[in-house]
């Protein structure tokens, strides 16, 4: 019997591919995009203070991810510091392990739903090659932790179909909510259609989920009540409301991003749907079709492709069901398409390393260079992500460094991670818009001893740096220049 007919060998192939992807990411990439670097920095703040703050007290996050990763991370970071291992690797190992746990749980659920180990193994492979799942599991993101507990919540329904399963499933749902509020609701987007098409709505499960989510919400609010409720409301706004968008222009942009991300997966997607139509009399695909419809809607109207990762559950289940009905040569073609999707995921991750628009390596070098250097001013473009409008409306006029926490700025987290004590009150910023028009009120009024310019803002702003001399430069695009006020020590 060939490997593609043996569930244990199928799973072995799945985990080898998964760990190879995660190892490649951990070794080749520094923290990429601002979120990962900021999450790592927030972990260090949490380890010191017990509060999941980013940038001092300006941004707050639910503490679930930091609590779950605390024990293994402390051990891995200690071992890494002795062995000279880059700081990114311990964080990503923890995330990778939770991702591996998710694959195992998804396999278990699929086996319960299909009664076939072969279908479950094939479905788990399809779930894990999703670029969103691979990227979120290979980086220190809450999505990896969230998905593990979200699918544990769903698995609990099938582990015990009585009150005990409802309570355990509700508990896991509450933990998922404590990790990342908005995506925890995807549990219901999967569970409710699944229960409906199985002919039994588990009200006890849904009520316990709601109860434990309410308890988790109280736990999220407690560290910030009552003095810092403004920060919590900003968090709730960005987490729950600011990412969704409507309109043809918005949908067109989201679809274009999805086509880039899933280019290699489109032929596979079409083939699986075609086969499912042919098998309509042998298999019931109603749940899977509903899940695919929800998935496509989110891909068009929600501004974050990580959000769709859990919703690939339905398509992966469909692919697993189809797989067991394929002929030998069709199963070989199945794995050829799977390999193509996986290769595409490797290429996408590699493109981040070569993306001159962000140049993460230079951001890391700049952050490490700036460690211990104060006071400092950044001259930069404002964030381009729509979710940051919430924070721009609150902090832009103040020249707050908070807005540096965007996709181009991993600089401050690397700076903070290499300091014994960060002095946020000695950092400020001057912001330009995309047209290089000054948009913050500070202008040239409060320049620090050190000033950092981006390549794009250099020509516009360098004339204001009288009495400063350039002491360092990093990268080309965006490219960073560091100036120091001549005659001052620092």
The C-alpha atoms of residue 208 and residue 285 are separated, in whole angstroms, by 28
pLDDT digits (tens, 9 = 90+) for 265-280: 888 989 999 999 988 7
What pLDDT score was predicted for residue 407? Answer: 47
Question: Maximum CA pair distance of the chain?
Answer: 82
Confidence at 403, pLDDT banded by 50, 70, 90? low
Q: Give the span between the Cα atoms of 197 and 147, in whole angstroms.
A: 23
Strand partners, 454: 480
Q: Which two tokens stand for residue 371?
A: 């460690």
Distance CA 298, CA 310 (A): 11
Q: Which long-range contacts (CB under 8 A, 24 or more apart) does 204-208 make?
A: 204/163, 204/166, 205/156, 205/157, 205/165, 205/166, 205/169, 205/170, 207/166, 207/170, 208/166, 208/167, 208/169, 208/170, 208/171, 208/173
Q: Give the chain's mean pLDDT.
A: 82
pLDDT digits (tens, 9 = 90+) for 225-244: 776 676 667 666 666 555 55
Helices (H) and strands (E) in the chain, counts: 21, 7
What's the whole-number mean pLDDT along residues 438-444?
A: 62
Residue 284 has pLDDT above 80, yes or no: yes
pLDDT of 410: 83
User: Rounded to 5 degrees, what angle do the CA atoms 189, 192, 196 make?
Assistant: 140
DSSP lists the bridge partners of residue 381 as 432
**Confidence at residue 206, expressed as pLDDT on a 0 to 100 scale:** 93
Measured at the alpha carbon of residue 269, what is the angle toward residues 265 and 270, in degrees to the nearest 5?
Answer: 120
**Structure confidence at residue 282 (pLDDT):** 83
Q: Tell me what pLDDT residue 13 has.
A: 83
Distances (CA, A) of 354 to 305, 349, 383: 20, 9, 21
User: Which has the closest alpha carbon to 133: 354, 330, 286, 315?
Assistant: 315
Tokens, residue 163: 């009150």
Answer yes or no: are the C-beta atoms of 396 and 440 closer than 8 Å.
yes
pLDDT over 90, % of the chain:
33
CA-CA-CA-CA dihedral for 324, 327, 331, 334, to nearest 10: -90
- Cα-only R_g, the chain: 24
What is the average per-residue pLDDT within 64-87?
A: 90
The CA distance from 77 to 91, in Å, is: 8
User: Is the confidence at residue 54, as pLDDT, over 90?
Assistant: no
- Contact assessment for residue 340 and residue 296, using Cβ atoms and an 8 Å cutoff: no
Q: At what angle do helices 142-159 and 131-138 cross, to 10 degrees?
A: 110
Coil, strand or helix at 418: coil
Assess contact for 380 and 432: CB atoms under 8 A. yes
- Selection from 176, 209, 177 nearest residue 191 by Cα: 209
Rounded Cα distance, 8 and 10, in Å: 5
| Token code pair at residue 133 | 């799942």
**Those residues with Cβ within 8 angstroms of residue 390's Cβ, 6 or more apart along the chain or in another chain:** 234, 237, 238, 242
pLDDT greater than 70 at residue 252 = no
> Tell me, what's the pLDDT at 63?
80
Give the per-residue pLDDT at 96: 94
With beta carbons less than 8 A apart as the criterion, state whether 378 and 401 touch.
yes
Cα end-to-end span (Å), the chain: 70
Q: Which of 169, 122, 127 is nearest to 150 (CA)?
A: 169
- pLDDT, one tens digit per residue, over 7-49 is 788 888 888 889 998 998 888 888 876 578 888 888 888 888 7
Alpha-helical runs (H) found in 180-312: 181-184, 186-197, 203-221, 229-240, 248-261, 265-278, 286-301
pLDDT digits (tens, 9 = 90+) for 92-148: 999 999 999 999 999 999 999 999 999 999 999 999 988 888 888 999 988 899 999
H helix or E strand, kind and range, residue 341: helix 328-353
Q: Tokens at residue 151, please?
A: 């699918």
Residue corresponding to tokens 């002919």: 199
């Amino acid at each position: 019997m060939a490997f593609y007919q043996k569930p244990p060998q199928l799973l072995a192939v799945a985990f080898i591919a998964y760990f190879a992807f995660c190892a490649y990411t951990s070794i080749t990439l520094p923290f990429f995009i601002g979120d990962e670097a900021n999450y790592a920095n927030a972990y260090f703040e949490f380890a010191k203070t017990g509060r999941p703050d980013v940038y001092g007290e300006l941004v707050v996050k639910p503490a679930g991810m930091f609590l779950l990763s605390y024990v293994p991370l402390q051990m891995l970071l200690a071992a890494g510091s002795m062995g000279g291992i880059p700081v990114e690797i311990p964080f990503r190992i923890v995330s990778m392990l939770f991702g591996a746990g998710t694959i195992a749980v998804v396999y278990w659920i699929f086996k319960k739903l299909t009664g076939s180990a072969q279908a479950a193994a094939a479905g788990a492979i399809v779930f894990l090659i999703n670029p969103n799942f691979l990227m979120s599991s290979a980086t220190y993101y809450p999505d990896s932790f969230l998905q593990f507990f979200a699918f544990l919540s769903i698995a609990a329904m099938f582990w015990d179909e009585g009150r005990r399963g409802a309570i355990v499933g509700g508990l896991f749902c509450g933990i998922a909510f404590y990790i990342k509020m908005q995506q925890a609701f995807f549990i219901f987007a999967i569970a409710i259609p699944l229960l409906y098409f199985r002919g039994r709505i588990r009200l006890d499960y849904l009520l316990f989920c709601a109860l434990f989510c309410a308890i988790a919400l109280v736990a999220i609010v407690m560290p910030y009540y009552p003095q810092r409720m403004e920060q919590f409301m900003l968090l709730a706004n960005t987490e729950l409301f600011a990412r969704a968008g409507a309109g043809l222009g918005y949908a067109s942009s989201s679809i274009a991003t999805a086509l880039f991300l899933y280019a290699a997966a489109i032929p596979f997607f079409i083939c699986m749907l075609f086969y499912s139509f042919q098998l309509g009399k042998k298999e019931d695909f109603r749940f899977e079709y509903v899940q695919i419809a929800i998935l496509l809607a989110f891909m068009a109207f929600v501004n974050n492709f990580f959000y769709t990762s859990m919703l690939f559950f339905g398509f992966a289940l469909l692919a697993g069901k189809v797989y067991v009905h394929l002929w030998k040569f069709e199963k070989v073609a199945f794995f050829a398409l799977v390999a193509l999707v996986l290769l595409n995921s490797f290429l996408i991750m590699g493109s981040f390393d070569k993306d001159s628009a962000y140049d993460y390596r230079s951001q890391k070098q700049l952050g490490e260079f700036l460690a211990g250097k104060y006071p400092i001013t950044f001259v930069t473009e404002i964030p381009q992500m729509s979710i940051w409008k919430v924070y721009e409306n609150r902090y832009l006029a103040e020249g707050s460094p908070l807005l540096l926490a965007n996709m181009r700025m991993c600089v401050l987290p690397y700076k903070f991670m290499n300091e014994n004590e960060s002095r946020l009150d000695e950092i400020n910023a001057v912001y330009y818009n995309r047209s290089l028009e000054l948009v913050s009120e500070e202008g040239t009024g409060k320049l620090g001893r050190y000033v950092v310019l981006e390549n794009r803002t250099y020509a516009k702003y360098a004339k204001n740096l009288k009495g400063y001399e350039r002491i360092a430069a990093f990268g080309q695009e965006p490219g960073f220049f560091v100036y120091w006020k001549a005659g001052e020590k620092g």
